[in-house]
Amino acid sequence: MSTNNLQSCKRKMLPAKGVGRSKCVCKEWLSLLSTRHFAMMHCRHISTSYNQKFIAIGSRLCSVFLLSCENSGPLLNSRILLPFEAPWNKVNILTSFEGLLCVCFRNTGKLVIWNPLTRAFKKVSSSNSRGLYKPKSDAIGLYVDKTDAYKLLHIKRRRGRMWVHVYSSMFDSWHKITFANKLRCWRGKPIWSNGTFCKGVLYFLVNCFIENKGVMLFGFDVESERFRLKTFPRFPHAYYDGNLVVVHKELHMFVTHGLPNWTVDLWRVEGESWVKLWVFPRIQPPIILSCSITHITSTGRFLVVSNDGVANEIDTTKKGDGCFLPAVWFHGLQGAIYTETLSSPDFYFHY
């Protein structure tokens, strides 16, 4: 097989499973497709919204669904076994990034980075208690630095104090961000979202209504390892909440505001300001609060999954009540949306 043919396959964004089968074509392809450089390059090309899948954990098996923009629900693609020893009902999916899932074990708090396609996983919790996650107190975020090494940021809060540590897959170790507690607004009991990575910044929404400070947006610059307070859309209402999502490599946010007559807006960040793109019809009860939102397709559909496992779809191409679609195929399961990639939780690629 010629190199030109191989380049053609890359341009067509061959799915990750197809790349694995392509290694059998010839030694040249096996050598190239086994490199970490190719894995990262393939990941950046394949990580588009129309390649996303939904993984649901339940009854000792993981079910992987293909999310189709043509159908109202997903198609069951495969079932896989958990590669680590843990009861399925003790596994909590925290976030996904470039085909990797960060999960924690609810009975121990230990964190694991896992690729469901390759079954490769990495236990990142250390013997000195770093990387032990506490639900409803901590926050995490997966990202990649300029060396293409995956990192995990862990915000840990205990008894009114806060620590920030970063795990590096390159060095298989943790280091502390020393300045974090200097920010007074982080003290108390704010509610942190998990991180959303976009263009070199890991974004966190911090709900401080208990302290009468509203919702704040912080950005963690992954190169300087410094936090910065970002602008947030202004609202005249007393209560509002936000939910971050990346669409076409741009940071967007759903904002719910206007108690008791809730309104939901979709905003996009442009420089240091926000631009309103879309207004959701008013419904009761609000469906965005205490939810995670993930972009499904390039046609403007979003999946809204509540903390108790109830899912709905939002279609921004439709108007009125028709833009809100209950997702009857998903209820009460632990799950997340991700893209199948060859990304490895280790610094060195070994698929």
Which residues, in sequence order, are CB contacts of 330 under 8 Å at separation 6+?
Answer: 54, 56, 305, 309, 311
Mean pLDDT of 156-179: 87
What does the pLDDT look like over 299-327, one tens digit per residue?
A: 677 777 665 556 677 777 777 777 777 66
Q: Is the pTM of this model over 0.85?
A: no
Taking the C-alpha atoms of residue 75 and residue 78, their distance in angstroms, rounded to an integer, is 9
Which residues, in sequence order, are CB contacts of 67 under 8 Å at separation 6+?
Answer: 52, 53, 54, 74, 296, 297, 303, 337
Q: Residue 323 — φ and ψ, nearest 5°?
A: -85, -5
HSE-up (13 A, CA, CB side) for residue 297 = 17
> Distances in Å between the alpha carbon of 102 and those of 88, 154, 247, 270, 344?
15, 11, 21, 29, 12
What does the pLDDT look like over 55-74, one tens digit per residue?
A: 877 655 677 777 654 555 55
- Per DSSP, 188 falls in state S
Q: Residue 158's pLDDT is what? A: 81
Tokens of 219: 């950005």
Please calculate the CA angle 236-266-153 and round it to the nearest 5 degrees. Answer: 95
* pLDDT bracket for residue 10 (50, 70, 90): very low
* pLDDT bracket for residue 335 (50, 70, 90): confident
Place of tokens 């409803």: 136
Q: Average per-residue pLDDT in the chain?
A: 76
Tokens of 226: 């410094």
Per this entry, what is the length of the chain? 351
Taking the C-alpha atoms of residue 321 and residue 332, their distance in angstroms, rounded to an integer, is 24
For the cut 60, the answer to whether the pLDDT of residue 39 exceeds it is yes
Taking the C-alpha atoms of residue 338 and residue 74, their distance in angstroms, rounded to an integer, is 13
Taking the C-alpha atoms of residue 207 and residue 318, their distance in angstroms, rounded to an integer, is 30
Tokens of 116: 């469901």
Contact 124, 111 (CB under 8 A): yes
Tokens of 17: 């499973």
Contact 9, 16 (CB under 8 A): no
Taking the C-alpha atoms of residue 44 and residue 240, their distance in angstroms, rounded to an integer, is 34
Mean pLDDT of 211-217: 72
* pLDDT bracket for residue 283 (50, 70, 90): low
- Per DSSP, 110 falls in state B
Q: Estimate the crossing angle of helix 36-46 against helix 3-11, to 10 degrees.
A: 40
Q: Residue 45 — φ and ψ, nearest 5°?
A: -85, -30
* pLDDT bracket for residue 262 (50, 70, 90): confident
Please list, residue by residue across 21-52, b when 16 or more beta carbons sit within 10 angstroms of its beta carbon and e when fewer do. Answer: ebeeeeeebeeebeebebbbebbeebbebebb
Tokens of 141: 């975020």
